[in-house]
Amino acid sequence: SVVRFTNHQLVNTVFPFYNSTYRNHKDGKSKGEGTDSKRVPTKSKAVAALYKKLAEVVSMLAQLLSVQPLTDSTVLLLSSVAISPFFVEPISELQLSALSLVTSIFAKYEKHRRLLLDDIMSSMSRLSSSRRNLRTYQLESQERIQMTTVLFLELIQCLAVLPLDLVGDKLVDTDSVITAKLTSAQRTAYVFLDMWLAKCSSKNEDTNYRQLLENFILDLLITHNKPEWSAAGFMLSVLGNLLVASVINKNLGSPVRLICLDFLGILVCRMREDAKQFEDKSNVVNQVISGIKFEEEAKQNQNVKEDDKDEERLTQPV
């Protein structure tokens, strides 16, 4: 099928070409490398062309998902196609196409959400926890965040999207629908962050999940005041409550509580800085408003004086 072909080409052709960690080494050579150096440019062009076509296919699969019910086996395969590009760099065009696909799956197929979260968490071992070339997605403010952060935020935000005909439908309780969607988003955020914290405290993990979570928190702090990333503040709230509950839970081991305390310290410190900046900006805005009001009052007083002079001229005898 198209889905199987797409997945096969991504895993065996596109990913190895763009990321060396996906290459199968054999006889000291990476998969996709030939002995004739003259053939490399041709192969590069061919893979680049295939990459663009696959990005288009993934976008069309997302559109198909919105109009056509699919079997569980197909959804599972689509999930693999949608998740895997986020852990390969640099394939931003394909990642944006995959973002549309994964959010469609996540919003439409509730019973697959936990499987998607598990797949994301297990795939995070491929991420680098270093800060070099970490943030590749540029915001409108010119700031940058990780592509995986975009994925997490979009997954939460897609759960809170309201139907277009909700307001005009008198048979539906609007408040109940909104509450249900927010509850679903909150529950999903809690489950995912709880899984992440558990990974941070596990001694059997080779991946530095603690550093990955810290990078994620820093991204949330960058985006939490931006209206287009409404899930950032939402996830910070959920994370804060989860960290506080973990710190005061004496049944947890000391290492886990210390990790949560460290993350809580990062949150409090940055939020305090943001509050100070907001206060400074508020003072500047208040000064500007006061200046505008003063100018308007001065202008009004000037107009009144001019009107009084005109009246005096009119009342004076000729």
pLDDT digits (tens, 9 = 90+) for 165-216: 776 667 777 888 888 889 999 999 999 999 998 888 777 766 788 888 888 9
Q: Is residue 33 part of a domain?
A: no
Confidence of residue 318 (pLDDT cuts 50, 70, 90): low
Domain boundary at 71, 93, 126, which? 126
295-302 average pLDDT score: 71
Look at residue 32 in the predicted model and tell me its pLDDT: 40
Question: pLDDT tens, 80-126?
Answer: 999 999 988 778 899 999 999 999 999 999 999 999 999 999 888 77
The per-residue pLDDT for range 268-280, each reduced to its tens digit, is: 887 776 666 555 5
Is residue 64 a part of any domain in this protein?
Answer: yes
Residues 9 and 109 in one domain: yes
pLDDT in tens, 35-74: 333 333 445 888 889 989 999 999 999 998 888 888 888 8
Residues 186 and 248 in one domain: yes
Mean pLDDT across the chain: 80
Classify the phi-psi angles of 265: left when phi > 0, otherwise alpha if psi is within -120 to 50, otherwise beta.
Answer: alpha
Full residue range of the structural domain in which residue 113 is found: 1-21+45-126
Output the pTM of the full model: 0.76
User: CB under 8 Å to 105, separation ≥6 — which residues?
Assistant: 65, 75, 78, 79, 82, 112, 116
Q: Does residue 145 belong to any structural domain of this protein?
A: no
Beta strands in 44-161 (DSSP E): 137-138, 144-145
287 and 197 in one domain? yes
pLDDT digits (tens, 9 = 90+) for 237-286: 899 899 988 888 888 888 888 888 888 888 888 777 666 655 555 555 56
Tokens at residue 224, please? 């939490």
Q: Is residue 292 part of a domain?
A: yes
Domain boundary among 126, 158, 185: 126
B/e letters for 253-284, b = 16+ CB within 10 Å, e = fewer, are: eeebbebbeebbeebeebeeeeeeeeeeeeee
